[in-house]
Structure 1
Amino acid sequence: MEEFLSGDLFKWVIMPLIIFFARIVDVSLGTTRIIMVSRGKKEIASLIGFFEVIVWLLVASKVIQSVDNVLYILAYAGGFAAGSYIGILIDERLAMGTVSIRLITSVEPTELINKLCQAGFGVTKIDAQGSRGKAYIIYSIINRKEVSEFERIAQECVPKAFMSVEDIRKVREGIFLPRDTLRLRKESPLRKSK
């Protein structure tokens, strides 16, 4: 075993792969921890941070011990880049939290508001004046998992509307239906007959 650990195969192939994949884990954990901190999930962020630091210490110490091995440095940097990308994918998959959606359109939004309300979204309409004349601001606070459904409805009704989505840390009150309730409403025979 000692011969294997000191051999060329381990030094030039296996250890760089270990460094690369451990760094992916470390950076993905770091990205997820930052997301949890921004969402106010202190306990989960602390637990993730504990494991993140353990992995980082083990990997960084190995690279620092062998700073003359360019392959270790490349594996470390490559793992960082890949970990950043994977961390963002994890965030998109988790889709945790609440967002504020602001949609600005010059098209009268009655159809849009009706469809959004039918889909279970709470909506506020504000009459406004834009640089090109009369405008409407449609404001809604929704779960992040529902952004694509909101966007789909908006694209269908007002395809050229300006839309911004911002993370919100805390929400109180409002119209937030559980996803299962929305799904059951959409599949309801009463709704189909209308």
Structure 2
Amino acid sequence: MDFGVLATCLLIIIARIGDVSLGTMRTIMVVQGRRWISWGLGFFEVLIWLYAVSSVMRNLEHPIYALCYAFGFATGNYVGLTVERWLSLGDQAVRIFTRKGPAMAGFLRENQFGVTEFDGRGRDGPVHHLFIQARRRGIARLVNLARQIDPECFYVVEDVRSASTAYANGSSREPTGWRAIIKKK
């Protein structure tokens, strides 16, 4: 295999990793309602994709390019999801169902989480339903704290597209730095 073919393979892989990663981020921004960022990411995603697909289509005599295209696509999905997890953009709502509601709510409040409490009835009798909105980045900590009080609590985590107010110490503080730019819709 000559150097030109190898270089083109590498460029196709890098281009596909780039455009698929941008596509993953664009999809997340669309779901979160961030129109202008979605527009910009989509613009660059398609520019990169056009380069990659045209490199394959112009050189059909080299089937290795199609394999590189597929490899770049698969790797781009992995990279895009890894970047998305690393950035942890947005808020999430956590619903915790427990028999130790007052103790857990107090403990979570001591740890800077805003908690709303509800009484409910489960299959085996009365339960407490706790509702917490928090930054995605803090959800693992929140769940670990809840499990310290009740290791058998049941919880559900949901994405928050929008909320009426920015309440709670652990959620929706005004972003700073580059996050302030991303937060604008």
TM above 0.5 = yes
Trace 1:85-100 onto structure 2 (pairs within 5 A): 85-100=78-93
Question: Aligned AA for 2:4?
Answer: F
- 1:37: which partner in 2? 30
2:177 corresponding residue in structure 1: none
1:85-164 map, 5 Å? 85-105=78-98, 107-164=99-156
Query: Are 1:116 and 1:123, in contact at CA under 8 Å, matched by a contact in 2?
Result: yes
Higher relative contact order (CA 8 A, sep 6+): 2
The list of structure 1 runs, each at least 4 consecutive aligned residues, that deviate by more than 6 angstroms after superposition, is: none
Distance in 2, matches of 1:22 and 1:35, equals 20
Contact kept, 8 Å, 1:122 with 1:174, in 2: the verdict is no
- Considering only CA atoms, is the larger Rg found in Structure 1 or Structure 2? 1
Q: Which residue of 2 aligns with 1:50?
A: 43
Would you say 1:61 and 2:54 are equivalent positions?
Answer: yes
For 1:190, the equivalent position in structure 2 comes to none
Among 3, 7, 12, which residue is 1:19 paired with?
12
Larger relative helix fraction: 1
Identity %: 33
Pick the aligned partner of 1:72 from 31, 50, 65. 65
Look up the match of 1:4: none
Q: Give the aligned partner of residue 165 of structure 2.
A: 173
Please state whether the residue corresponding to 1:126 is helix, strand or coil: strand
Which piece of structure 1 moves more, 69-78 or 22-31?
69-78
Distance 1:174 1:83 in 2: 34
Aligned counterpart, 2:3: 9
Q: Give the Å deviation of 1:25.
A: 0.4
Structure 2 CA distance for aligned equivalents of residues 148 and 178 of structure 1? 12
Structure 2: which 5+ residue stretches go unaligned? 174-185
Q: Is contact 2:113-2:170 (8 Å) kept?
A: no
Structure 1 residue 126: Cα displacement: 1.5
- In structure 1, C-alpha distance between the alignment counterparts of 2:100 and 2:143, rounded to whole Å: 17
Cα deviation, residue 174, structure 1: 5.0
**Is the contact made by 2:21 and 2:79 (CA closer than 8 Å) also made in structure 1?**
yes
CA root-mean-square deviation: 1.8
Task: Return the TM-score normalized by structure 1.
Answer: 0.82
Count residues with an aligned counterpart: 172
